[in-house]
Amino acid sequence: MKCTIVGATGYAAIELIRLIELHPHLEIVSLISDSQTDQEMNQLYSFMNKKQFPILTAFSLQQIKADETDLLFLATPSGISTKYLKQLQDWKGTVIDLSGDLRLEKALYEEWYPHEGVDSDLQKKATYGLTEWKRDQIKDSRLIANPGCYATAVLLGLLPLLEEHVIDPSQIVIHASSGLSGAGKTLTEQTHHVRSSENIRLYKMNHHQHIPEIESIAEEITGQKITVSLATYLVPLNRGIMATMTLQPLVEKTEAQWRTWFSEKYKEEPFIRVGQTDPEIKSAAGSNYCDLSVYLDTRTGRLTVVSVLDNMQKGAAGQAIQNANLISGYPETLGLTQQPFFI
C-alpha cells in the first residue's frame, strides 16, 4: 500500500516513517512539508543517513494522485490539517488525521482550539480511531480522526467502567503527565531545556483540548454523560504518558477482583496489558502497548486506574498504523509487535 505523509518533518511523522519501514506492506511514496520543500530527510536528520526517501515537496493533490497514493497521513499540527482536509474531501484514498481537527464537532472545536473548525459535514464523515472501541466502524471508513494521546490513555482506562455503569460519571479526577515530544517539535519557552530539565510543570490546567474529546467520545460510546477534571503535566522525558484516574465505584469489589475484571474486559486485545505490578512509562515507551493498573483504596472506597502508553506510538503514530492495518485488511498487529525500549 502506497503512503504519503503530510507534515513529514514533525515528531509524529518521524515515528510514522520508522513504523512504516518495519511494515511489510506499506511503502512511502511521498513526503510533504510546505516549510521544508526540496530538502532531503537525511539532511534534516542525521540518523536517516543512508536512507533513501523521496525529496520533500509542497502539498499538491495532483501529485498525490500521480504518486498513486492509497493512504495519506496528516501529521500536521491542529489548525493546519483543516486546509488540507478541504482539498482531500473528494479524493478517493484513505486519510488518517493525527491532528485534532476531526475529533470534535465544529462549535466545540472552536471553543477549545484557537482555530477555525473543519466544515461540520466533513467532520461528521470522520470515524474516531480508538481502535479497541471503534474497530467495526474503522474498517469501513476512509476518513479517520486519530485520537489524542491523553484521550487514548484516559479512554482506554475509563470506557470499560462507564460501559458497565460501575463508576460515578460525575466524579472523575485525572492527573496526567506527558513527555516533551507531546508538545511538538517547535521550540517554546516551556519546552526549552532550561525550563524543562529537572522540572515538572503544570500546564493547561482544566483547559486541555483533550477534555472535550474525552467527554464527548465517552458519551458517544457508552451513552453516559461524564464530567472530568484533568490536570496535565510536562515531565522531563522524551516520550510517554501516565494518566492516573481517581474514581468513585458504584459496586463493591476487592482490588484483586477489579484487576481480574479489567483483564477479562481486555483479554482479546493484543495491545492492552493489565498489570499486577506498579506501572512505569518505560514499560510502554517505544511500543504500541497500553498498560493498565487498578488500585482500590479501602480507607476512602475510591478506585484508581493508571494508564501508561507511549504518546508517540499508541498515542499517535502506532495507533495510526493499527488503524491503517484494519482498513487495509491486514492483521491488526502487523508491524507493531516490537517490545518497549525500556533501556
Quick: pLDDT tens for 248-290. Answer: 999 999 999 999 999 999 999 999 999 988 999 999 999 999 9
| Among 250, 324, 310, residue whose Cα is nearest residue 281 | 310
pLDDT in tens, 181-202: 766 666 677 767 777 788 888 8
| Residue 152: CB atoms within 10 Å | 29
Greater confidence (49 vs 274) lies with 274
| Residue linked to cell 473548525 | 117
Q: What does each C-alpha distance from 185 to 7, 158, 196, 198 come to in angstroms?
A: 11, 30, 14, 20
What does the block give as the cell for 68? 498513486
3-state SS assignment for residue 96: strand
pLDDT in tens, 158-181: 999 999 999 999 999 999 999 887
Residue 309: is its pLDDT beyond 90? Answer: yes
Greater confidence (10 vs 183) lies with 10
What does the block give as the cell for 90? 473528494
Q: Is 3 left (phi over 0), alpha (psi -120 to 50) or beta?
A: beta
Residue spans per domain, the chain? 2-125, 150-311
pLDDT tier at 107 (50, 70, 90 boundaries)? Answer: very high
Q: What is the mean pLDDT of residues 119-143?
A: 97
Q: What is the mean pLDDT of residues 221-229?
A: 96
Residues 191 and 187: their CA atoms lie apart, in Å, by 6
Q: What is the mean pLDDT of residues 214-223?
A: 97
- What pTM was computed for the model? 0.95
The pLDDT value given to residue 183: 66
The pLDDT value given to residue 286: 95
The pLDDT value given to residue 198: 83
Assign domain 2-125 to its CATH architecture: 3-Layer(aba) Sandwich (3.40)
Q: What is the mean pLDDT of the chain?
A: 94
Instruction: Name the CATH topology of 150-311.
Output: Dihydrodipicolinate Reductase; domain 2 (3.30.360)
| Residue 277: CB atoms within 10 Å | 8
Residues 144 and 129: their CA atoms lie apart, in Å, by 6
Residue 326: is its pLDDT beyond 70? Answer: yes
Catalytic residues: 149
The pLDDT value given to residue 186: 67
Q: What is the mean pLDDT of residues 283-303?
A: 97
The pLDDT value given to residue 2: 97
Greater confidence (127 vs 193) lies with 127
Chain centroid offset of residue 222 CA: 20
